Amino acid sequence: MVLLTLMACGDLPASDSSGNVPEPGVPKQLRSRQIIVALAEKERPQWPVIAQDLQTRYRLRPVGEFPLASIGVQCLVFQVPADQPLESVITALQADPRVELVQANQVFDALQTALDDHYSSYAPYAGLVYGVHLLEANRAQRISTGRGVAVAVIDTGADTGHPGLRNRRIRIANFVEGGEQSFSLDRHGTAVAGIIGAHPDGVGLEGVAPGTLLSVVKACWYSDPTSAKALCSSWTLAKAVDFAINGGAKVINLSLNGRPDPLLGRLVAAAHRRGIVLVAAAAENRDDPGFPAAVNTVIPVISCDVNRTVSLPRWRSAAFVAVAPGQDIVAPAPRDRYALLSGSSLAAAHVTGVVALLLQRQPDLSPGQVKALLQTSARSVSTTHTELGVVNACAVLKLAAPELACP
């Protein structure tokens, strides 16, 4: 296993001198009243001067800075004093000609719900495993395992020592303050990475694409160790997506969701231009799919059960929405255990695995072509909405090239 522990370049220690209420136990990337200011590459010689002037002029406290090489900007993170309206500061900075972009540091969350909080051995769950078979990935693996396809899981950390993930030479990176300590104990990323690429672990659990080159990039963390929900921020996600783009990822899995985000939107566009396929979990219980699932270059995913039944979301989409197993999913959990989970996070991981199977055999496909092939080959679900379709590994491989029909 190649270990990379990466923290923000030039990140600064936090203090409470600005009058903000301290937030003990919260990583600095998720503290309230933070804004991200992006400076363009053309201003590089003046970056230090501009940063100092912005700090003084708008009474801001610097808490971090980092470059995003894939989109050519330098990001400055400031804490806005409690006595200044956040939106007023953002509006003023938007009018500053030296500023390329400014936004609040937003919060995102992972879309997974634990159905069984008692992690145990695999045996009680053996009869419940269905995801790989429903997708026909077990048949597709006879001609493709996703071998050599670089997949970045931008998520929490993961237990890379789990029987299904050990000896996989998984690349790991951390962009959360203090995240190294909990990396191998994180549940959400362990489940997502395992669904995508776990090797048979001796007890029957196998990922959709066990030959992938996996990277687990920690951008999310648990605000409460007992909670099923992990949180991420614009700050951590921006660094993680930039890392994945620059690191040669062919597929990025984003089993998370939030509001539209200008900075992350630029990174999503940059990834698309580089030919990287992005798969994202869509919100199933909200009024819209959420970001980044709603971006038209991204493959949005919702979940179905073992019978291909979908609980229709409140929103409707004219474009294709992929459907994949995401209800009552048996997934690996930290400390060599297993859990029964549900949510579009798990469904997105299944689709990412299928994309990897496809790209091993057809590596020159563009993201748009991959999405079109998934849509055309998708199987019907238990609903009349034609924009929804269950992804099928054998069908998409055969559609891409007739000689790739599953044996």
Residue pair 38/51 in contact by the 8 Å Cβ criterion = no
Q: Any bridge partners for residue 300, and if so which?
A: 280
The gap from C-alpha 176 to its chain's centroid, in whole angstroms, comes to 14
Distance (Å, whole) CA 62 – CA 40: 18
Residue pair 262/275 in contact by the 8 Å Cβ criterion = no
Active-site option among 155, 159, 186, 328: 155
Active-site option among 188, 199, 272, 350: 188
Instruction: For residue 272, indicate whether it is catalytic.
Output: no
What's the sign of the alpha-carbon dihedral 356, 312, 190, 258? positive
Six token digits for residue 164? 């299904």
Instruction: Say if residue 243 is exposed, middle or buried (CB neighbours under 10 Å; 0-12, 13-18, 19+).
Output: buried
Distance (Å, whole) CA 369 – CA 354: 14
What's the sign of the alpha-carbon dihedral 163, 167, 172, 176? positive
262: DSSP letter? H
- Percent of the chain as helix, strand, coil, to the nearest 5: 30, 25, 45
Active-site option among 18, 255, 342, 345: 345
Distance (Å, whole) CA 107 – CA 90: 17
- The phi, psi pair for 28, rounded to 5°, reads -60, -20
Instruction: For residue 188, indicate whether it is catalytic.
Output: yes
Cα angle vertex 298, ends 296, 302, to 5°?
A: 105
In DSSP notation, 118-159 reads --B-SGGGGGG--HHHHTTHHHHTTT---TT-EEEEEES---
Instruction: For residue 15, indicate whether it is catalytic.
Output: no
Which active-site residues does the annotation give? 155, 188, 345
